[in-house]
Structure 1
Amino acid sequence: MAVHSCHTIFAESFFTRNAGLFEPYLSFVGLGDAVLNSPESEIPLSQYVALWEILGQEVSPTIGLQVGISTRSQELGAYGHAVRSAPSMQMVLRCLSRFIAVLTQGTRVDIDEDAKTVALAYQITDPAIVRRRQDAEFSIGIALSLFREVTQNPTLTPIRVDFEHDAPADLSFHRQVFNCPIFFNRPDNRVCFSRDILDMPVGTADTRLFQALEPFLEQQRETRAAATDLLSQMGRHIASGLGSGNVSIEQVAASMRLGVRTLQRRLSVQGLDFSQMVEGVRRSLAENYVAQSDYSFTEIALLLGYSEASSFSRAFRRWHQLTPLQYRQRAKA
């Protein structure tokens, strides 16, 4: 399995099923049509999340939740098949949390329990990805859809849902989907159920299939999780050093308290390329600064380590086929 120089998510059959939705907007985030027909394609997480945000602007402000609640386990590759075939609800929850890196890096899924409730919490951990409402609503929508699928209870209802983003102006679709209290500006995104859910039988359980999938998923998890840890650490150090100019591997190694050769060896083991990592962090931060801040483009160029605004503008057009001004206008429309 190839390892990319940024956090990635596998296309799986999900992109093929939703080709008609995604295809008109792929070029907006620098993606090609190959992701629509190649389940093994790895999509940079920042571009994947940016694609959702564009769909939220161009198609529907609730598109993430609409697609999430209609997504089924078979569209999520081996990860989805393991969740579906797990022999108990405890194992369903364990799979959702433990093996998330097999599907997507730069995220976390935690299971929190107390005496009365069980909650699945989801959050992007990549610090460079800030605009992510649609991904959050898509992911919580999928979680509810999967719980309904494995319990074979299409009316299964949570007791509470939290989102980390601001409340949308229109909550009618959210209320229709969840039919429970919904809270915004929370620390993370989560869907909560009564503990009774743990006693529900898994109607889709297939013990033999689960036993066959689990060793494969463990192997993939170890590989992907190791790369995720290194990517996250380096991403933070690259981001903090961009404003001082060109970020070198020597600077990053020093800030991580590692020798240059040690860092180079770790990159080599994971198949990572330092210059591509710097490019990926620059791109993610550029998208956030342009869309979310009131910084001038000259200020953004300096924050990202460009010597002049024209160099930044050329790079931005290469990434998005849009000027920074066009991208800002689209984001704020």
Structure 2
Amino acid sequence: MPFDAVAKSIWVSADALSGCVEVANDAGFDIRPYLASHGIDPELIENSRGLISYQAMSDCLDDIASSEKGTDFGFQLGRRQKPLQFGMISQVLQFAPTVGEAIRIFLRYRDLYSQSSHWDLSVEDDVARLKRRDFGSSARRSAQITFLSVTRGFEAIRSMMGADWAPIGVYFSTSEVAYSVAMRRYFSAPVFFNSEHDEIAFDAVDLKRPIPSGNAEILNALTNHFDRLFPEVDDRGPVSAQVQKQIRIGLEAGECTIDHIAAHFGMHPRTLQRALATEGASFRELVKEIRMLVAVQLVETSNAQLSAIAMSAGYSHLSSFSRAYKRAQGKPPIHCRGN
């Protein structure tokens, strides 16, 4: 599939561009006209909520690089952003026992944040290699996206390793840039260009470094929660996962319509439906799944009356709830109460 066709079907968390206004101001230009021309709402970025099109983000950064002579904009943006700013995943990483486990958890749940690229961790000859891959071999590589992604990955690892940590080498699939000396100084490591992969290589022993805030009990609770909340994330994508989360919140607040949830993401309802369709999902289908997921959890783990559970799960009548529950679980809710 051509790059543009793939990229238009991919959405990333709006906080992927967090700090872009400040970085642009430091460089002496206003980024808002660029955001507007590519259909990106600045409020989504300022509030670190919602989703933006990968295609729009890529085109916007490339536009800035060519129009403002800001060829290092992606690199500077990656430096400015907070380490471990990866949406919901950030809640989990701090409780991992080691740096290696934190990286593996990030890779496991990354699709909850973005599907713009994929990362793999491997160990070869005592060297750990964190490699970034685009959509496919035919993908058009955006230099600004590449520099932003790798710099963010470096910052995330360094935040867990300590300020004095340095990798063995940093590799880019793009051509060498004029500010490569500044990059080598920043990474405190050799930087290579025209590489087969975008990659951060470091000593494998660093994977065993403990994280001071690691907590196995909290980690287990959070990962179990993510697995229950997003049971089909591997088969779908980040839009479905984030919509599932907002549906659950909407059920509790009584605001579970597509209009409410599309507004949260800064999208028109029809745009949201199309984004879900590219992942093989629909809003109605996700609402049904989350309502039943909430209902099953409450039936099995609480002593609440079934009528209250039906209401919490968004069912208007106990009878309709009981019928739906029996269809989904094979027996009525009264027979599934926890002991």
| TM-score (ref. length: structure 2) | 0.60
Q: Which has the higher contact order (CA 8 A, sep 6+)?
A: 1
Indicate whether 1:93 and 2:73 are aligned: no
Aligned match of 2:157: 147
* 1:190-201 superposed matches below 5 A: 190-201=199-210
Larger gyration radius, structure 1 or structure 2 = 2
The one-letter code of the counterpart of 1:72 is K
Indicate whether 1:33 and 2:42 are aligned: yes
The one-letter code of the counterpart of 1:53 is D
CA contact (8 A) 2:72 2:179 kept: no
CA change 1:55–1:216 in 2 (3 A) is farther
CA contact (8 A) 1:120 1:192 kept: yes
Counterpart Cα distance in 2 of 1:221 and 1:163: 33
* TM superposition shift of 1:157: 0.6
* 1:16-55 superposed matches below 5 A: 16-20=18-22, 21=24, 22-55=31-64
Counterpart Cα distance in 2 of 1:55 and 1:180: 28
The one-letter code of the counterpart of 1:81 is Q
* 1:315-330 superposed matches below 5 A: none
Indicate whether 1:163 and 2:166 are aligned: no
CA change 1:126–1:106 in 2 (3 A) is farther
Counterpart Cα distance in 1 of 2:215 and 2:83: 14
CA change 1:25–1:216 in 2 (3 A) is farther
CA change 1:91–1:267 in 2 (3 A) is same
Q: Once structures 1 and 2 are overlaid, which stretch shifts more, 56-65 or 90-99? A: 56-65
CA contact (8 A) 2:129 2:200 kept: yes
Can you list the C-alpha shifts for 1:219-249, whole angstroms capped at 9, x where unaligned?
A: 56654432359x9xxxxxxxxxxxxxxxxxx
Counterpart Cα distance in 1 of 2:43 and 2:279: 27
Can you list the C-alpha shifts for 1:119-149, whole angstroms capped at 9, x where unaligned?
A: 1111221677514111111111111111111
2:281 to 257, 270, 281: 270
1:81 to 77, 86, 91: 91
The one-letter code of the counterpart of 1:172 is V
Percentage identity across paired residues of the two chains: 16
* TM superposition shift of 1:78: 1.3
* 1:230-309 superposed matches below 5 A: 269-271=280-282
Counterpart Cα distance in 2 of 1:268 and 1:226: 8
Counterpart Cα distance in 1 of 2:208 and 2:75: 27
Aligned match of 1:202: 211
Aligned match of 2:11: 8
What secondary structure is seen at the aligned counterpart in 1 of 2:129?
strand
CA contact (8 A) 2:99 2:207 kept: yes
CA contact (8 A) 2:19 2:77 kept: no
CA contact (8 A) 1:102 1:220 kept: no
Counterpart Cα distance in 2 of 1:38 and 1:129: 30
Counterpart Cα distance in 2 of 1:130 and 1:159: 28
CA contact (8 A) 1:119 1:192 kept: yes
Aligned match of 2:132: 122
Indicate whether 1:136 and 2:139 are aligned: no
CA contact (8 A) 1:164 1:187 kept: yes
Counterpart Cα distance in 1 of 2:186 and 2:156: 14
* TM superposition shift of 1:111: 0.2
CA change 1:169–1:38 in 2 (3 A) is closer
* TM superposition shift of 1:48: 1.6
CA contact (8 A) 1:112 1:119 kept: yes
Counterpart Cα distance in 2 of 1:131 and 1:209: 38
Coordinate RMSD, CA, aligned: 3.1
Indicate whether 1:104 and 2:107 are aligned: no
Q: What is the number of equivalent residue pairs in this alignment?
A: 233
The one-letter code of the counterpart of 2:54 is L
| TM-score (ref. length: structure 1) | 0.61
CA contact (8 A) 2:236 2:280 kept: no
CA contact (8 A) 1:78 1:217 kept: no
* TM superposition shift of 1:196: 1.9
Counterpart Cα distance in 2 of 1:137 and 1:268: 27
CA change 1:49–1:149 in 2 (3 A) is same
Counterpart Cα distance in 1 of 2:135 and 2:70: 25
CA contact (8 A) 1:123 1:136 kept: no
What secondary structure is seen at the aligned counterpart in 2 of 1:270?
coil
* TM superposition shift of 1:51: 2.2
Counterpart Cα distance in 1 of 2:69 and 2:90: 27
CA change 1:268–1:80 in 2 (3 A) is closer
CA change 1:45–1:168 in 2 (3 A) is same
Aligned match of 1:113: 123
